[in-house]
Structure 1
Amino acid sequence: MFTLSGVRSSKLTLAALLVSGLAAFSGCGEKKDAGAPAGGNTGGSAANTPAPETPAPEGASFKLGHYASLTGSEATFGVSTDNGIKLAVEEQNAAGGVKGKKVELITYDNQGKPQESVTAVTRLIQQDKVLAVLGEVASSRSLAGGPVCQRLGVPMISPSSTNPDVTAVGDMISRVCFIDPFQGYVGAKFVAENLKKIKGATLYNRAQAYSSGLNTNFKEAFAKLGGSVISEQAYSDGDNDFSAQLSAIKAAGAEFIYVPGYYTEVVNIAKQARKLGLNLPLVGGDGWDSEELKNAGDALNGCYFSNHYSHEDPRPEVQEFVKKYQAKYGKVPDGLAALGYDAAKILFDAAARAPSMSGKDLAAAINATKDYQAITGKITIDANRNAQKDAVVLEVVNGVPKYAATIPAPKN
């Protein structure tokens, strides 16, 4: 059921998608869905097929689509991102909209599933006639929805999908976050230089594009910095018992554990590690970023994760954003909220510069973004449509992320 109250959420079905005329898509990410309809190869071959010239739909509003995990196990990702986008839309409309047109935000819930992402993006473009799409947080779901945008010629900005393959899909796809080769380097550099650790273990989700990719990036960067991974352990979606992997790590004598997973897994991993007497730091990536970390109690104290911003950043624009977000939602904005806000703001800035609202003109303007002063830092979109920006490392203190360090982006 859809509600037409400015923001729509739905439980989309495969039948609805088949009516749209799509078939035989194989979505990459955490899982491959054999029954998914056609949307293009998510491994990047869509880049060889230029996006069609899509004229801007006529209308009284600037229609903006968003697909996100508003329900399901990773709902805090989608809800935070959606909140940030809604705040940006509210501000844009108060300032006159986009070239005099009110921004109409249409959001669909993909329930945290790649297949539902294909369905949602198809509906946004073919039925709702959106001019641009924002989403997704998870790389696997961006790898499912992105090829649809590329094939239909509508630009998509991912707020926070960090797997490099996401933007390799084609010229319609960009992002406002850094990518995992840099994020892996950030974790490795912090461990080697700040924590002074040289022997570590990794514990990652083998079924997740984000987790497995970041695990590889970390290992490569850590080796270059003189460190060694002496135990590499893996798990799969739905696993709740990590005792075997943690016992192997303990026996190996690791000084830390790199856990490039989502908050949904990290809380249990931390609790079980402490029960086994593994009182060593856990280090991870931006997938940790959630208020749900508080459910770990003190098990995550002294643990760290790389992220896109800190709410403690003293820059006036950051503190103003934090203040507005708290007033609207009653909580401190996490990195997902900040990235959702930035993605929308960069889109609006690009739309103001674009000669028309066609898909190609909008995408070209987005991809030309340079030195945009965003909440998550100064952003330049590079030739691969990735954001060049610094990263921060946050320490978990009683479930609350606190600023620990800044790792600068590499100089080109």
Structure 2
Amino acid sequence: RIRELANGTSDKKALEQLRSTFPRSFPGDLASLRLIDLYIGRGEDHQAIRQIQQFLVNFPTHPQEAKTSELLATLQAKQKSNQFFIAVVLPLSGKLAPFAGEVLSGIQLAVEANRDRAGSPSVGLIVKDLESDPATFLDEFSELLDTDRPLAVIGPLLSKNLPVMAELAERAHIPLITPAATFPNVRRLGNYVFNTALTYELQAKRIASYAIKEQGFRRFCILHPDTTYGRELARLFAQEVRQHEGEVIAVESYKEGEVDMSGQLKRMKAEDLNRYGLSVPVDQTKLTGKLTKLDKKVFYTPGFDAIFIPGRAADAGIITAQLNFHDMKVPFLGANGWNSPDFARTDDSSIDGAVFVDGFFVDSHTPTVQDFVARYKRRFETSPTLFSTQGYDAAKLVLDAVRKEASSGEAVRDYLLTQPDLSSLAGPAAFGPDGTLNRPLFLIQIKRGRFLQVN
């Protein structure tokens, strides 16, 4: 029964779980062999090679050892037939594996599109799991750079892995493009380091530009979570506001999951009343009916134009309702932590009209995004994410360089450094002096339970 299930299923997650539970015994061997078949059937040769290598280590005397070794040799020969390579170094196992898988899917889509394009040089992938053996990773990464000489390396996900990888890439004269790290100014790590991630600075600049230049807002309050994400976005947003001669009236923080914001909102209101806010007493004698504790004794009019809330969607919904209760009925601005369908569908009308920024919008009306989403869904049977698009952009930019006759790491780096009109998924882009890819971001508005693109 187990043999039939393992051989017949196409559920990759179930097979991986079975293999992890029985790494060196039955039915883990069957799960591994089935995964190999699935990867080959999907054209994911690099994944099949990794799976075969792991299988041969775990089952050196298995009846399928000879056949599997022969298959490995065939796939490796096929890999070597490519004219150029892009190396992908991501945590494909461990807790970050789902995010790494999304990045890898975006990279694969770009490489496959290049393969289908007539006259394009043949570019293959070399995929390495950063988490497979941390003790030997640096030696293996050095060998990859020196022996395989990829045109570029896409990775890592985390900022903490960047410095040492950047040093090795710099020494080898091979571009290192992180698709997810929020490390500020990667160029400090070397001239071969690039970043296609959505950074805090990009978000802050775009939402501040929208508020000040497009909406004419001048005065702001900020309410942020006491996390790295919240603190950095709050700091950078305030910096942008002041650079545009705007004013930040008050800044307050909260703990994620906190449900009562009355203390923060009272302090914010008091600060505003000291500057621009208006408080007008209500003439109780003119109120009809029986008075209750809920009847307002003063009418408060905020002196600020909008409030920036760079937190999670779950917290933002609670906060906006309380802001309305405290008469702080101003436009709400947010960051990409708001991009949750459940947030848009909330019954609370207090968030209607709120606007936030993100690096990707799956329902965008931009033609290139619509085409990407359609191709991604056909290929992987799921919707792409921000991680998918950042991996896609990283690979596509390298492939564009190859089509412009770049044939070495140095040539790819020069192309990325000097081109003022690179083609990203969201539109024209260019790498800034800090190594970050400056490209159009998406402004998304919550309207009647739906997300709508503003720009």
Structure 2 counterparts to residues 257-336 of structure 1, below 5 A:
257-260=307-310, 266-273=312-319, 276=322, 282-286=332-336, 288-289=338-339, 292-294=340-342, 297-298=345-346, 302-336=353-387
Residue 218 of structure 1: CA displacement? 0.7
Q: 1:79 to 1:256 in 2, by over 3 A?
A: farther
Residue 326 of structure 1: CA displacement? 2.3
Greater RCO, CA 8 A, separation 6+: 1
**Unpaired segments of 5 or more residues in structure 1?**
11-57, 406-412
Matched, 1:394 2:394: no
CA distance in 1 between partners of 2:126 and 2:365 (Å): 30
Q: 1:296 to 1:250 in 2, by over 3 A?
A: farther
Residue 184 of structure 1: CA displacement? 1.7
Matched, 1:126 2:143: yes
Residue type of the partner of 1:82? L
User: For 1:171, what is the secondary structure of its paired residue?
Assistant: coil
* Bigger Rg, structure 1 or 2: 2
Q: 1:368 to 1:224 in 2, by over 3 A?
A: closer
Aligned residue for 2:169? Answer: 149
Q: 1:268 to 1:286 in 2, by over 3 A?
A: closer
Aligned residue for 2:404? Answer: 353
User: For 1:6, what is the secondary structure of its paired residue?
Assistant: helix
Matched, 1:194 2:215: yes
Residue type of the partner of 1:222? V
Q: 1:93 to 1:171 in 2, by over 3 A?
A: same
Residue 71 of structure 1: CA displacement? 7.1
More helix by share: 2
Aligned residue for 2:14? Answer: none
Aligned residue for 2:116? Answer: 94
Aligned residue for 2:39? Answer: none
CA contact (8 A) 2:313 2:338 kept: no
CA distance in 2 between partners of 1:142 and 1:120 (Å): 13
CA contact (8 A) 2:156 2:162 kept: yes
Q: 1:165 to 1:246 in 2, by over 3 A?
A: farther
Residue type of the partner of 1:344? A
Residue 272 of structure 1: CA displacement? 3.7
Aligned residue for 1:378? Answer: 428
Identity over aligned residues, as a percent?
Answer: 20
Q: More deviation in 214-223 or 277-286?
A: 277-286
**1:241 aligned to 253, 257, 265, which one?**
257
CA distance in 1 between partners of 2:324 and 2:90 (Å): 35
> Matched residue pairs, number?
341
CA distance in 2 between partners of 1:316 and 1:78 (Å): 26
CA contact (8 A) 1:309 1:377 kept: no
Aligned residue for 1:36? Answer: none
RMSD: 4.2
**Unpaired segments of 5 or more residues in structure 2?**
1-22, 24-31, 37-44, 52-78, 270-303
Structure 2 counterparts to residues 45-194 of structure 1, below 5 A:
59-61=80-82, 62-68=84-90, 77-95=99-117, 99-100=121-122, 102-108=123-129, 123-127=140-144, 129=148, 131=150, 132-136=152-156, 139=159, 142=162, 145-161=165-181, 163-176=183-196, 180-192=200-212, 193-194=214-215
TM-score w.r.t. length of structure 2: 0.60
Q: 1:180 to 1:272 in 2, by over 3 A?
A: closer
CA distance in 2 between partners of 1:401 and 1:119 (Å): 46
Residue type of the partner of 2:206? V
CA contact (8 A) 1:176 1:379 kept: no
Aligned residue for 2:243? Answer: 224
